[in-house]
Structure 1
Amino acid sequence: MCRLLGYVTGVPAPISASLGEGLFGQFTSLCTIHCDGWGMAWRRPDGIGIRTSPESALVDPAYAELAHQPLSDAGMVHLRWATDGLAVSPENTHPFTDGRLALAHNGSIAPIAELESLLTAESLAAVRGTTDSERYFRYLVQEIGAAADEPEPEAVRRTISALHHRFPTSSLNALLLSPSHLYAVHVNSAATGPIRSVRAMYDSADDIPLGHADSSGYFAMAYRVRDEAVHVISSGVSPAGWQPVPLDSVLAIDLGTREVAVHAISTVTTAAGPRA
């Protein structure tokens, strides 16, 4: 269970300056909870640049160094809070990349064995860690690659819809960077967040970070469109000036034009109770 931050800018700019130092500081402060590693991925002319670490972003100087460099005009930042039972290790740290696509995930897809069963032998051979998130990424790579004649946004929407039907109570929230788009997946309508664990960390409910006190807030995502940049972010920072990403949708940001399109996915009805 993690935090996500994505950006598409007119020209390469440091994410700290593009988002704003104050908001970026708010985002980074969420490492008090999401402390099990960090990662950044960004578009390069020859593919994807990436840096990950199993250390908290609050103590790893490389995080601040990269955040203040103009790495690219499109990329993402991930703060990890490891799902119970999954190791804090380099190979489990997001984002994951194959050199062309990159993905960072906020959620848990279970059972992992069922997700793994969807992978071809070739996709499975590329897996290095133990997370559901890496298997989610490899499935997206597999299915997008198999849909070469289909517009990429439709292939992403269709694949996410299929996973939602297969795992209706899982959170598929993610950022996916391709050569043409940054996708924000906001699919979690029957997922339950780690709210009891969050509440146990604080003596007072007033101290809990924004959006972390209930599942709907925990999995919320928002985006902001400005002349110079489009950003998308998980809950935890001030919502002023941001629009909610519609629930059970994929937000597609064109890297060339910065145009934003919302693609609804087909949903399923579950017997899940209220999200605590």
Structure 2
Amino acid sequence: MCRLLAHVSPAPATTKDVIGDSAAAEWQRLGRLHADGWGTAWLAGQEIRRYRDPARGVDSPDLAGALGDTPSLARLTHLRLATEGMANRVSNTHPFRVDDIALAHNGSISPFAQLRAKVSDEELARVGGNTDTAAVFALILRRVDAGEPLFDAVTSTVVELRREFPRSALNLLVLSPEELIAVHANEGAPIPHKEFEASGLGPDLPADHVDHYYRLSWRRSEDGAIAVTSSGLTGDGWHEMAPETAVRVDLATLQVERRELGARAAVAA
């Protein structure tokens, strides 16, 4: 259970440039709850680069720098609230990256043993880590290796897993040199209220966490830049992403394709 943030822009920009100084600071403060590490992946030329830190990000100058100091056409950033039993270490810290594909996840899939049985030791070792997210990424990569376009591979895997694990939460951000993909799939997933209570934050719990923890929202700036975030940010301009949908943003054109995960119907936006 984690927090997600991403931007794409027509010219190199920082995430802070796209969402504003106060929103970037507010998002980093979500690390007071999501304190099990942070990571980021961004487009540098035609390569996806990545940085991960298993320490908490709320007071990390490196996280502040990732959000505000390095312009890029696309970046995704992740704050981790570790699923019980999934160790807090670098190899389990998001985003995961294989070749030039990076993936970050908000949610969980259980029972993990049932999911783990779907991937081989070699597939999991390729991704690194031993979490449910690593297994999901391995399943996506299996489809990519078989020749499926990345958007098809992501959405087909999510549909398959939601069918087998109906109470799973599968909010995903996936970044490649060509596209940013955002998936909002978690209807019926339980909100982790026990973790909220254990945090001791009480009235300082981030916005929208009690009722809308798995919400994803998006906004588009006047210059065409697009941002996507998990719940926890306040302010104007954010629009809720429809449940059980996925979107693909073409990094070259900023054209958006939306897909309903049930019917797998693609709609140009």
Task: Using structure 1 for the length normalisation, give the TM-score.
Answer: 0.88
Distance 2:63 2:35 in 1: 13
Of residues 244, 248, 252, the one that matches 1:252 is 248
| Contact 2:18 2:221 (8 Å CA) reproduced | no
**SS at structure 2 position matched to 1:12:** strand
Look up the match of 2:165. Answer: 167
Segments of structure 1 that go 5 or more residues without pairing to the other structure are: 268-276
SS in structure 2 of the partner of residue 115 of structure 1 = helix
Give the corresponding residue for 1:39.
39
Are 1:208 and 2:205 counterparts?
yes
Q: 1:116 to 1:236 in 2, by over 3 A?
A: same
Deviation by residue 1:105-131 (Cα, 9 ceiling, x = unmatched)? 001111222222222454133143221
CA distance 1:135–1:181, shift in 2 (3 Å): same
Contact 1:42 1:76 in 2 (8 A): yes
Pairing 1:1-276 to 2, within 5 Å after superposition: 1-120=1-120, 122-146=122-146, 148=147, 150-202=148-200, 204=202, 206-214=203-211, 217-228=212-223, 229-266=225-262
Alpha-carbon shift at residue 47 of structure 1 (Å): 2.3
Q: In 2 relative to 1, CA 62–207 (structure 1 residues): closer, same or farther, beyond 3 Å?
A: closer
Deviation sequence 1:193-218 (CA, Å, 0-9, x none): 212321454575x533211113xx00
Equivalent pair of 1:245/1:251 in contact (CA under 8 Å): no
CA contact (8 A) 1:199 1:208 kept: no
Structure 2 residues not aligned, in runs of 5+: 264-269
Once residues 123 and 227 of structure 1 are traced to their aligned partners in structure 2, the CA distance between those partners, rounded to angstroms, is: 42
Contact 1:38 1:55 in 2 (8 A): yes
Number of aligned residue pairs: 262
SS at 1:190's partner residue?
Answer: coil
* Counterpart for residue 267 of structure 2: none
SS at match of 1:24: helix
Aligned equivalents of 1:195 and 1:259: distance in 2?
37
Q: What secondary structure sits across from 1:256 in the alignment? A: coil
What amino acid is the match of 2:189?
A: A
CA distance in 2, matches of 1:92, 1:255: 27
- Contact 1:41-1:76 at 8 Å conserved across structures: yes
Per-residue deviation at 1:70?
2.8
CA distance in 2, matches of 1:197, 1:164: 23
**Is the strand fraction higher in 1 or 2?**
2
Letter matched to residue 220 of structure 2 = V
Q: Distance in 1 between matches of 2:35 and 2:219?
A: 26
Give, in whole Å, the separation in 1 of the partners of 2:131 and 2:201: 31
Native 8 Å contact 1:38 1:78 kept in 2:
yes
> What is the CA–CA distance in structure 1 between the aligned matches of 2:163 and 2:184, rounded to whole Å?
14
Match of 1:30, SS state, is helix
Mapped to 2, the partners of 1:193 and 1:78 lie a distance apart of 18
Q: Aligned letter for 2:130?
A: T
Calculate the TM-score normalised by the size of structure 2: 0.91
How much identity, in percent, do the aligned residues show?
36
Distance in structure 2 (CA, Å) of the matches to 1:5 and 1:100:
19
